[in-house]
Structure 1
């Protein structure tokens, strides 16, 4: 059954009743020409039917999508709303190259919040992240982040008409989406438009240097033989453009320290400051922050064919920081302290690329006076690839969006859902309840059950059976990292002095 028309700043929209929830899918929030900043959509007067997901952002496997019409969002809101409800604004992951809001059905979370759930599409791969402003395309920098900002602006201006509270918006995201959240939260243009932030499995380096991004752009232009006519890239067929990017990415993985092709960029204009510096100086101390990761993040990437580039680049970065002797010492400690089912090499890389950077960000926010909570997801969902790979990257996300007692289908990723085990239901229910409590109040649990992250205790919440709290800085692994980091800092100070 269709809903009544809801007014927006662009024009009225009609959604569909989905049980006790109203769903509005494929709602346009902006439009954009290739390599140009997102602009408001032309207004409409007749009610627009928004009952199906909008076009995917062009990506491998979906290069037939209309790129100028991919900027849409989806809203789930309880049918009966007697007060303004908190809003969860979710940015999907996918290595900045794949994914979309259609993989996340927010009906279950909306009903059980109660809350208003929003998922968005933004431009991906070269269309959203190729930095071309130094090559004559003046607006082409951090376009994907500007897409997300445009979506946030639209939600802040319109969500009250859908039962949401524009003064209680939580920025949330997973993986690449978590990097987007961390960057978006620090933008002056976003200030006052959100009140909390949740980042699940943000990569260790959430921001790229402008020089590296410019090198990526130069290589792509060279690959397309457009170095003398960069503007012509705007008319290159999408399959040709994405194929060139893939070839450049493979070479970058072997030739550069970073190995990264895309991500938010410290360009000096859209992102004027390193996000971690903004957290450290206390500018965001009034924003409650939840940072989470999965226990075995790197397993998925180690088992990919070929293994993901981040495997090699992370090892190179650790060796560069601590030397070959430091790397071997770390690996020896991990082997000596490994669980029976643990790959020491994977555990070391997971700590280096995922867990430790998130802990460092938590320390910065806590030291600046901000409220922050740190979690790790240790449960193995009974759903592939987690059933065979354990609590690897995305395990928490699968449980977060589950419609208990079932995992949901992921149409873009082409992953089927399925029934959950009692253990899945137990852990997922706790995880969802904590998230909805955080979205509602800015605190994921009562202090006795999950204390906020503060120095020197540094409590880490473990989502498993049972849910429990452990000291983050406990054990020989943590002490060795501290020792090596202190030695590296002393060396840098001597070299600088």
Structure 2
């Protein structure tokens, strides 16, 4: 049935109520012209029906039905709460080029919390990340970041009317969305609008340089034949624009440190500082932080056809850092310590690109006085692609959003859900419980079975059967990485003298 109207700063909206959860879908929080910063949409006076997801952001596979002004959000709120509820604000992933809020149904988490769940749409690919200001088109933009900030502003201003507590907002995201979280958390524009942060599977190199962004823009303009008239890109049909970006991406992905063409950009304006430097200087010490990854992150990318560019760039980066001899020592160490079911090459790359950078960020936040927890998801859900690939990239996300005892459908990714096994339910329930505790209290485990990450001890929570905690800073692999890193640092110091 339909809900009563809820007032927002733009006008009243009506949602749907089912099984003690009210849902408001496709709520517009901003509007934008191509390559322009988002602005508030026109206000309305009559109640607006918000019962269907908003249009997908333009992306490969969804260019015909998508709308460029795709800036909407979705809210799930339990019925009958007797106090303001904590809020989970979620930024989806998808390599900065795919995805949308419609792939994440928050009804189950909202009811179980109880909590308010918010998912958003932001601009993707060239529409969200192509930096054209050096070519006379607009100012430094980081449009996808600005979109997400506009959604966060809307939530801060309006969520109390939906039963939420604007002072208990958890800024969260997965994969590309986790990179966005790490960047946004450090921005002056976000200060006071969130109280905790959760980043799942953030790529190790999650910020692009301004020079790289300019290089991408020049290549795209050249591919479109618009070197002398950048403004004409505003009217290029979407299929032509995305086709040009795809061709450019195939040519330059190997030139990047991350193997991806797009991402948040250190432009000096929207993002003025390297995010890790902000964590290191202690400005976010008051923000509890949970950093998570999946055990076999790289399997999905190794098995893509062709293998993802991040495979090649990660190996190259390790070889540059430690030399060919260092790479061979690492690979030999991984081969000698591999589990029976483990691919040593994949494990090395997963550590280099995903796990170690997350641990380094945890160390920075902890050393600055912040509370931080580190986790790894070791359970392979009984759902493709995880049935065949194990706990690879996104395994934790599948369990986080499951409606126990069912995995949910992912319409944008075109993945079907299905029944969960008892092991799936057990691990997913623990993962969801920890997340909801974190959203509510700022600690994922109130019983202290999972201690916070500190310099004197580096506990790593393992979500598997059974849930357990292991020391991160032990074992032959850790010791070799530490030896190679120290040797590399000493070499750099000698060269600088």
TM-score normalised per structure 1? 0.99
For residue 294 of structure 2, what is the aligned residue in structure 1? 294
**SS of residue in 1 equivalent to 2:173:** strand
* Greater Cα shift, 57-66 or 252-261: 252-261
Work out the CA distance in 2 between the residues paired with 1:212 and 1:453.
Answer: 34
For residue 349 of structure 1, what is the aligned residue in structure 2? 349
For residue 133 of structure 1, what is the aligned residue in structure 2? 133
Per-residue deviation, residues 123-150 of structure 1 (Å, max 9, x unmatched): 0000000111111112352100000000
Per-residue deviation, residues 343-385 of structure 1 (Å, max 9, x unmatched): 0000000000000000000000000000000000000100000
For residue 183 of structure 1, what is the aligned residue in structure 2? 183
In the TM superposition, residue 19 of structure 1 has moved relative to its aligned partner by 1.0
For residue 98 of structure 2, what is the aligned residue in structure 1? 98
**CA spacing shift, 1:423–1:367, aligned 2, 3 Å:** same
Work out the CA distance in 2 between the residues paired with 1:144 and 1:256.
Answer: 20
Taking the TM superposition and a 5 Å limit, the aligned residue runs for 1:127-276 are 127-139=127-139, 141-276=141-276
In the TM superposition, residue 447 of structure 1 has moved relative to its aligned partner by 5.0
Tell me if structure 2 keeps the 8 A contact 1:293–1:376: yes
For residue 8 of structure 1, what is the aligned residue in structure 2? 8
In the TM superposition, residue 64 of structure 1 has moved relative to its aligned partner by 2.0
Tell me if structure 2 keeps the 8 A contact 1:90–1:119: yes
For residue 82 of structure 2, what is the aligned residue in structure 1? 82
For residue 328 of structure 1, what is the aligned residue in structure 2? 328
1:431 paired to 2:431? yes
Work out the CA distance in 2 between the residues paired with 1:79 and 1:69.
Answer: 31
In the TM superposition, residue 258 of structure 1 has moved relative to its aligned partner by 4.7
**CA spacing shift, 1:101–1:256, aligned 2, 3 Å:** closer
For residue 405 of structure 2, what is the aligned residue in structure 1? 405
**SS of residue in 1 equivalent to 2:117:** strand
For residue 24 of structure 1, what is the aligned residue in structure 2? 24
**Number of residue equivalences:** 497
For residue 460 of structure 2, what is the aligned residue in structure 1? 460
Per-residue deviation, residues 433-478 of structure 1 (Å, max 9, x unmatched): 0000000000000253110000121000000000000000110001
Tell me if structure 2 keeps the 8 A contact 1:31–1:68: no
Work out the CA distance in 2 between the residues paired with 1:325 and 1:49.
Answer: 63
**SS of residue in 2 equivalent to 1:391:** coil
**SS of residue in 2 equivalent to 1:105:** coil
Tell me if structure 1 keeps the 8 A contact 2:140–2:270: no
In the TM superposition, residue 404 of structure 1 has moved relative to its aligned partner by 0.2
For residue 55 of structure 1, what is the aligned residue in structure 2? 55
* Greater Cα shift, 61-70 or 425-434: 61-70
**SS of residue in 2 equivalent to 1:69:** coil
Work out the CA distance in 2 between the residues paired with 1:63 and 1:301.
Answer: 24
Tell me if structure 2 keeps the 8 A contact 1:249–1:259: no
**CA spacing shift, 1:244–1:463, aligned 2, 3 Å:** same
* Greater Cα shift, 56-65 or 88-97: 56-65
In the TM superposition, residue 82 of structure 1 has moved relative to its aligned partner by 1.1
For residue 472 of structure 1, what is the aligned residue in structure 2? 472
Gaps of 5+ in 2: none
**What is the alpha-carbon root mean square deviation over aligned residues?**
0.9
Tell me if structure 2 keeps the 8 A contact 1:172–1:199: yes
For residue 418 of structure 1, what is the aligned residue in structure 2? 418
**CA spacing shift, 1:491–1:223, aligned 2, 3 Å:** same
Work out the CA distance in 1 between the residues paired with 2:395 and 2:275.
Answer: 26
Work out the CA distance in 2 between the residues paired with 1:65 and 1:110.
Answer: 30
Per-residue deviation, residues 311-349 of structure 1 (Å, max 9, x unmatched): 001011110101111001100000000000000000000
Tell me if structure 1 keeps the 8 A contact 2:73–2:151: yes
In the TM superposition, residue 60 of structure 1 has moved relative to its aligned partner by 0.3
For residue 34 of structure 1, what is the aligned residue in structure 2? 34
